[in-house]
Chains A and B, each alone.
Chain A
Amino acid sequence: MKSKPTFGLLFFFLLGLLPFVAALIYALLYSLGIVGILSEGASISYWRQVFQSGELIGSFLYSALLAGIGVALSVSLALLVSMGLRTSLQHRFWSLLIYFPLAIPGMVASFLSIQLLSKAGFFSRISMKMGWIDSLQQFPDWINDSYGIGIILTFVLIVSPFFVILFSNVYQNERVSELSTLAYSLGARSNQVFWKVTLPILFSKTKRIMILYFIFLLGSYEIPLVLGQESPQMLSVLIIRELKQFDLKLIPEGYVIAVAYTVVIAVSALLVFRRREVQVHE
């Protein structure tokens, strides 16, 4: 009976962990100039270069900011929708409408955003037809803009439906409505019920998923590639740019960023995972 899990573990090691670890080691060696056909011998100069230029730190903060705002807005919007439309959501039509954006790939969502939000896009044209602006140029800058507005809006578009569904399910499974009724019967006002009962329950059950979504958005590629600007760039876009750059001698810098990013994410994912285990044993 014991052989089954061992075999599964071996399989996981061979197909899941081994390639990942091998790739990471390869990237590490590349970043240190140890492998690579144009390598000029081991050196930490690439690491020094990357950290001195400040681009990695800038990109990391920028990505974290956009991903954080993206998750926060999505969660707020999802709360509003799922709590506001609780009864309508059980209707087939509305639930279908909510599920629909989940099926849109990031690349398609990005182009959708361009069609809708760019200066020559749908809303811009409508605004001009309505006489709110005199020329398309006056429409606010939401695509490839300095504040990442297009990126954030697209994040919200693809992430919030998931949280709507999640919150609705948690609301039902955790019997929040019964608990609310109880709170009401003990004299709580509706404001208090929301802030002291509903919200804490929903948050405590979903906060790890929020963190995972944050990590997911932090590493997203297609959306910032299409909608982002040239500087600062989000992490994945920066890494690919460095890896594909024209100057082949500087490719190790791309591996430096990739390794640094992987280590940070792996460590934080591990922390999230560990805390979960602690809670299970409580």
Chain B
Amino acid sequence: MVKTLVIKLCVFFLFVIWGCSNQSSIQQTDISDWSSIDSLSRNTTVHFMMWQGSPAVNKYINSYLIPEVKKRFNIDLQISGGQGPEIVQLLMGEKQADVRSGQVDMVWINGETFFQLRQIDGLWGPFADQLPNARYIDFDDPYIGIDFQQPINGMEAPWGNTQFALVYDSIKLPNPPRTLDELSQFVKNSPGTFTISNDFSGMSMLKSMLAELGGSPTSLNGPFEEQKYQTLSTQLWDWINSHNPYFWKKGETFPREHTKMDQMFASGELLISYGFNEGGIEDKVIQGLFPTSTRGYAWKNGTVHNSNYLGITYNSPNRTGALQVINFMLSPEAQLVKMDVNGMNSNTVLEIDRLPEEWREKFEQATQRQYGPTMKSLAPYSIQEPAPEYMLRLFEDFRKNVIEK
């Protein structure tokens, strides 16, 4: 009796294994023939993995994007939660297990993840510049066509556009610091109210400081240079370590992520916070987390300006569906709704001048932000995202030279 059971179990497991490996191979996709993509994509399901940490973003996806693609193309858009590291780990795992038909069709990524996915060949493409709505996008714009100093070459499609901004309360702090010298004065006058988060945002702040030490907004442009990094970063760690006693918790510890900084800014423990999406001010004021006197600004020598992108996974089982959804997300209509200051409030990647007359007017007449800075006001103070090696090294050395000291 035991024997039969064992045999039954073995057969069962064999079936499971066979079932896993017997996946349909993916058909070739020719983007130039959009009408066939259009018809192939209808009545399908697309799996989209994205960061779901913002209620405003989730609302845009759930109450606008999902119903619209259902209505227009009868596509069932399924969202699963996951950002950078989760996406990379998922695709690394699938690649390792040789999964030909993956769990996810499209992903929302930024330059950090793009760099990682390129290392593991996790993306399918090129596709971005061949989408019908790509004609409204200026791929020669260095803040769109170049991601972390690497040309995107059609491997990801820009979706949103953002600049790093510092956040302050204009009543408590009428003249926030804009340079390292001013920051030095500021932390000495108000000790314990500034810190650097040990995450993407904090490292972006460090990049601004590093570029200032380099002497110009373009000082970090181009490929990574060891010598330049050594010289500038040594100055940076010296600066930070000499000011550490005036940081939050006397610089003995640093917050793990900038959301924590936002909370401490809201409770008054910190006087300065920062982040992408021009500081993420508008929705936090509207939610009531930040006071209405909250404003944002850029570093005098510039803060990082970059785009976030949509990519298609190398093993996507439904490429045509993903192409259709991404193309719709880049349409003037979808981008206009995404810009709504009371909604997701994200800058468009479309070149307004290239749009048809009626859409141009709509974009120009869109309501302006009440609290957060506009991209236009920050534009003179923007720097390009430096090569990814700067980020790798800043993470490593910030831990070694500051946190563990």
Contacts and interface: CB of A to CB of B under 8 A. Distances in A.
A222 to B, nearest CB: 13
Contacts of B9: 10, 14
A244 B96 contact: no
Given A230-B403, A231-B399, A120 B267 contact: yes
Interface of A: prevailing SS? loop
Interface in A108-156: 119-120, 136-137, 141, 144-146
Contact of A119 (B5, B253, B254, B269): B269
Interface size class of B (residues with CB under 8 A): 20 to 34
Given A35-B96, A38-B119, A230-B256, A120 B89 contact: no
B396 A247 contact: yes
Contacts of B392: 246-247
Contacts of A247: 392, 395-396
Contacts of A245: 395
A230 B260 CA distance: 13
Given A145-B253, A230-B198, A247-B396, A120 B268 contact: yes
B2 A3 contact: yes
Contacts of B391: 246
A37 B96 contact: yes
A249 B314 CA distance: 20
Contacts of A244: 85, 89
B1 interface: yes
Contacts of A6: 2
B214 interface: no
Interface string A1-22: 0010011001000100000000
B134 interface: no
Q: Name the residue in A6, A10, A248 with the highest tally of chain B Cβ atoms < 10 Å from its Cβ.
A: A248
Interface in B85-118: 85, 88-89, 92, 95-96, 112, 116
B264 interface: yes
A110 to B, nearest CB: 13
Contacts of A14: 9
A146 B396 CA distance: 21
A246 B112 contact: yes
A137 B264 CA distance: 12
Q: Is the interface of B mostly helix, strand, loop or mixed?
A: helix
A101 interface: no
B393 to A, nearest CB: 9
A248 B117 CA distance: 10
Interface string B237-269: 000000000000100111110000000100111
Given A10-B6, A246-B391, A37 B116 contact: no
Given A10-B6, A37-B95, A246 B116 contact: yes
B92 to A, nearest CB: 6
B120 interface: yes
Given A3-B2, A231-B403, A248-B88, A144 B119 contact: no
A192 to B, nearest CB: 47
B252 A146 contact: yes
B192 interface: yes
Interface string A28-41: 00000001111000
A18 to B, nearest CB: 10
Contacts of B264: 120
Interface residues of A, number: 27
B404 interface: yes
B253 A3 contact: no
Contacts of A38: 119-120
A144 B255 contact: yes
A240 to B, nearest CB: 9
Interface in B180-204: 192, 198
Contact of B192 (A36, A137, A243, A246): A137
Contacts of A243: 89
Nearest to B255: A144
Given A230-B403, A231-B403, A231-B404, A248 B254 contact: no
B116 to A, nearest CB: 6
Most buried by B among A141, A245, A247: A247
Contacts of B120: 37-38, 248
A230 B198 CA distance: 8
B253 A248 contact: no
A245 B254 CA distance: 17
A220 interface: no
B92 A37 contact: yes
Nearest to B389: A247
A180 interface: no
A229 to B, nearest CB: 4
B56 to A, nearest CB: 22
Contacts of A225: 256
A90 B185 CA distance: 62
Interface in A229-258: 229-231, 243-248
A248 B116 contact: yes
B2 A7 contact: yes
Given A35-B96, A37-B96, A230-B403, A120 B269 contact: yes
A142 B192 CA distance: 15
Contact of B119 (A3, A35, A248): A248
Nearest to B394: A246
Nearest to A247: B392
A229 B5 CA distance: 52
Given A120-B269, A136-B269, A145-B253, A3 B95 contact: no
Interface of B: 1-2, 5-6, 9, 85, 88-89, 92, 95-96, 112, 116, 119-120, 192, 198, 249, 252-256, 264, 267-269, 391-392, 395-396, 399, 403-404
19 contacts: A6-B2, A7-B2, A10-B2, A14-B9, A35-B96, A37-B92, A37-B95, A37-B120, A120-B268, A120-B269, A136-B268, A137-B269, A141-B249, A225-B256, A229-B252, A230-B253, A244-B89, A246-B391, A248-B119
Interface of A: 3, 6-7, 10, 14, 35-38, 119-120, 136-137, 141, 144-146, 225, 229-231, 243-248
Q: 9 smallest A-B Cβ distances: which pairs?
A: A120-B267, A229-B253, A244-B85, A231-B404, A231-B403, A3-B2, A230-B403, A37-B95, A247-B392
